[in-house]
Structure 1
Amino acid sequence: MSTDSVVSAVSSDEGTHRLPRGAAFPGAAAVFVVFLAASSVPSPLYPVYQQQWHFSAWVLTLVFALYVVGLLGSLLFVGALSDHLGRRPVLAAAIALEMVALVLFLTAGNVVVLAAARVLQGIATGAATTTLSATLVDLEPPHARGRAGVVTSVAPLTGLALGALGSGVLVEFGPAPTRLVYALLLGAMVLAAALTALIPETSPRRPGAVASLRPRAALPAHLRADIIPVVPAMIAGWALAGLFLSLGPSVATGLLGLHSRLAGGIVVTLLAGTGALTVAVLRSRPASSLLAPSSALLGLGVLTALAGITADLLWLAAAGTVVAGIGFGASALATFGTFARIARPHERSAVFASANIINYLGNSVPAVLGGIAVTTLGLRTATEIYALAITAIVATAFLLRLNQLRAARRPAPATGE
């Protein structure tokens, strides 16, 4: 398809029944936040489900990981589909599947139905996040280059924080704690569907939709030099998020003595909310300048939080979580800003799919191992090992970035005439 035909096809979609591109950008960001809020809502509810259905810590983290299994499968198979079918059809399908998952949550009476709902939610979230990341880059205002990378970084963290905190509040103070929050999310998804119908299509249909379903996790060769240094930071940050989203409420009650059901939501909000604020504050900073300091802050925060847990000092654990949240947010901005900057337009869905695969493998695999460790070693020992492992990964990211900076400063070798 020629450039002129692409422009014509996209422009024809922006008629009277579509939002102008300036309004569509925040609309897409809002849908992004809603999806991630839905994904973190079950976290404060896990202790409630555990108490009702009597399952162990490793089953809890397995349920959490099944969400990521569905998400990774979605990223692998449909991550590039919106480059061929268009952004809106893929996003509409993701919203429909999310609504099915929410109905299952509403009616769940055992851990099997809960697990099925999480798998479907993972599939829907994987399709939505990749499509929305590409949509935001497509809709980015010409006068504000880099804004898509900022929003792609801040929207997931904002959604995680709002979902966990809202769920915690409803669990503690609202009626029907395992039902009401999902009913409210169903209403939010209806609004998301309406917004999707109004967003202009930014990626006209092109051949290759069936071929794009072939699982692909590789990154284009010309991107690898920029990506390799950020991979450890991605894994460490999302491994920490996995700990907070799966075992965070258990740590809050079992190790820090916080018996309020709201505590689980607050724990997640301290990490993700601080991360979102950090992205907002640092949004104008070049992504390349953030990787080393973000890694250092992430490691420092994890060690401080671990010291607070070990010494039974709530304030120190909270302070460490805030510092780790700053590092997490700066790391997310650095990594997704890098992906948004280097990906070519026709690569965007596939590249963001690869980025999310890295993130969610880091999010899920360590969490499941942590759940097994809790069952076999106890909550305190497992938490200590988990925190030290994250610190080691962060140190790797820091050293890789310093090595990259040193290599960039070396003078080019002289060439003979």
Structure 2
Amino acid sequence: MIDRLRFGPTASLTLLASIVVTLLAASSAPTPLYAVYQQEWGFSPITTTVVFGVYALAVLAALLVFGRVSDHIGRRPVLFAALAGQALAMVVFATAGSVDALLAARVIQGVSTGAALGAIGAGLLDIDRARGALANSFAPATGTATGALISGFVVQYLPAPTHLVYYLLLGLFALQAAGLLFLRESVTRKPGALAGMRPEIGLPKSARRPVAIAVPVLFAVWALAGFYGALAPGITAALVHSHAVVYGGLGLFVLAAAGAGSVLLLRNAPTRTVMALGVLALIAGVAITLVSIGSGAGGTASVTGFFAGTAVAGFGFGAGFQGGIRLVMPLVRPHERAGVLSLLYVVSYLGMGVPAVIGGVLVVHGGGLLDTAREYGIAVIVLAAAALAGLLLSGHRTPLATSVNVVAAGSAAATPPVGAVGTVGAVETVGAAETAREPLTAGVPAGAVRRRPAGERQ
């Protein structure tokens, strides 16, 4: 009976994309609530950043361990388990009465999010490569942006601020789990699931130079994401002279929305152009933000400048991450891709988690919130400038496939792109990057790769 009711391609794509949006909305939903928790439980900014960092590390671990499992056991089983984990996390959040419970919820949430994203990213491409690529690009940033903003409005204007938003998300996850019953499985089971859970991180000789160029910008853009996820609510409150919770998610919303916009605008641009524009926008955006913060006096000009700088930096975040991935992955052979991609995500999540925790320590034991923001911003600018210098100095000595479309966009401050570790469909490579003996399509799921016809403009 259920077989007759299975979803068609459009409904399946809609369901999977909606799960991504909800997952990322749930990941950013606690951001506006940190101020409420801090007021009720009396913990320091260090604790806030630790809670944020724990989530980042949990997602990273899940991506490394579970990223390829759905290729062996199927997409649906992984997604059922991930949604069950999300439901449990929402219950723990809603009933949390201490920091320990908050940390536990973030760990559960991070693991289930990381496990789901690889399966969803591949599943979207299984159904329809073109529309799946588009969904992969925009759903994560859409979820991150809307989650922070809607959570702020719910907490500010509706009752039970630390409970209601989680129960609403719990209901959405339950509906989506029911929808999975009607989703067609796109993968035939095969052995090797346990072996596929072994993390593979490697750096072949052919990728060492581009990785050396990409690592500073990847670390920088994700450090910026960590900054907005952990410290921006406090900065916004200081600038607007208001502790209204709705302001807590605005910075993250603007950053994520601008990152999604850069995916659309630069999706067909050459790799060097994307990376250079991303780094320049990152530097300019952070500089505008730092100038706007000024002495922390606030006022219309400083608030407007802060959000304008955030939008520019968000554009740089999306473009910089895409450019870094594009710079490296076309030069890696098929059997090396999972390990190299794992390394890039390790760098990205270390960039998001570690500086955020250090920033929390400096807020308490250093010069305070605004001084820490300035120091943090200067560090991001230095890292981005180093990346730009490396890109310019490399000239044409580093071979580049300039026509690589990364279809899994960065999800702003919450998670890495859909289809992360082990899901080769997350990178759509156009043009030969390997030798004739190892064609680009080797080991890649059907439909994940297309080659440009000869003579098509690069």
Counterpart-to-counterpart distance in 1, 2:356 and 2:338: 27
5+ long unaligned stretches in structure 2: 401-458
1:309 to 270, 275, 293: 293
1:76 to 35, 39, 64: 64
Q: State the AA in 2 paired with 1:382.
A: T
1:32 to 20, 28, 41: 20
Is 2:377 the counterpart of 1:387?
A: yes
Is the partner of 1:406 in helix, strand or coil? coil
**Corresponding residue of 1:96:** 84
**Corresponding residue of 2:362:** 373
The CA deviation at 1:157 is 1.7
Is 2:347 the counterpart of 1:363?
A: no
Counterpart-to-counterpart distance in 2, 1:198 and 1:379: 49
Q: State the AA in 2 paired with 1:398.
A: L
Counterpart-to-counterpart distance in 2, 1:344 and 1:166: 43
Is 2:193 the counterpart of 1:209?
A: yes
1:183-194 → structure 2 map (5 Å cutoff):
183-194=167-178
**Corresponding residue of 1:3:** none
Is the partner of 1:198 in helix, strand or coil? coil
2:146 to 162, 180, 188: 162
Contact map agreement 1:150 1:283 (CA 8 A) in 2: no
Percent identity (aligned): 41
Contact map agreement 1:98 1:120 (CA 8 A) in 2: yes
Contact map agreement 2:206 2:331 (CA 8 A) in 1: no
Is 2:387 the counterpart of 1:403?
A: no
Contact map agreement 2:56 2:110 (CA 8 A) in 1: yes
Is 2:96 the counterpart of 1:113?
A: no
The CA deviation at 1:263 is 0.7
1:7-406 → structure 2 map (5 Å cutoff):
16-141=4-129, 144=130, 151-218=135-202, 227-311=211-295, 312=298, 313-335=302-324, 353-377=342-366, 378-406=368-396
Residues 53 and 281 of structure 1: is their aligned pair in 2 closer, same or farther, counting only changes over 3 Å?
same
The CA deviation at 1:177 is 0.7
Q: State the AA in 1 paired with 2:376.
A: Y
Residues 351 and 178 of structure 1: is their aligned pair in 2 closer, same or farther, counting only changes over 3 Å?
farther
Counterpart-to-counterpart distance in 2, 1:188 and 1:343: 39
1:196-231 Cα shifts (integer Å, max 9, x gaps): 333333332222211222233336666666555333
Q: Which moved more, 1:56-65 or 1:250-259?
A: 250-259
5+ long unaligned stretches in structure 1: 1-13, 411-417
The CA deviation at 1:47 is 0.2
The CA deviation at 1:128 is 1.3
Residues 58 and 409 of structure 1: is their aligned pair in 2 closer, same or farther, counting only changes over 3 Å?
closer
Q: What TM-score does the superposition give when structure 2 sets the normalisation length?
A: 0.78
Counterpart-to-counterpart distance in 1, 2:109 and 2:312: 30
**Corresponding residue of 2:418:** none
**Corresponding residue of 1:7:** none
Counterpart-to-counterpart distance in 1, 2:3 and 2:211: 39
1:374-409 Cα shifts (integer Å, max 9, x gaps): 111111221111101111111122223323443259
Q: State the AA in 2 paired with 1:89.
A: P
Q: Which moved more, 1:265-274 or 1:33-42?
A: 265-274
The CA deviation at 1:319 is 1.3
The CA deviation at 1:305 is 0.2
Contact map agreement 2:224 2:352 (CA 8 A) in 1: yes
Contact map agreement 1:58 1:372 (CA 8 A) in 2: yes
Contact map agreement 2:221 2:320 (CA 8 A) in 1: yes
Counterpart-to-counterpart distance in 2, 1:231 and 1:408: 15
The CA deviation at 1:192 is 2.4
Which has the larger share of helix? 1
Q: State the AA in 1 paired with 2:370.
A: R
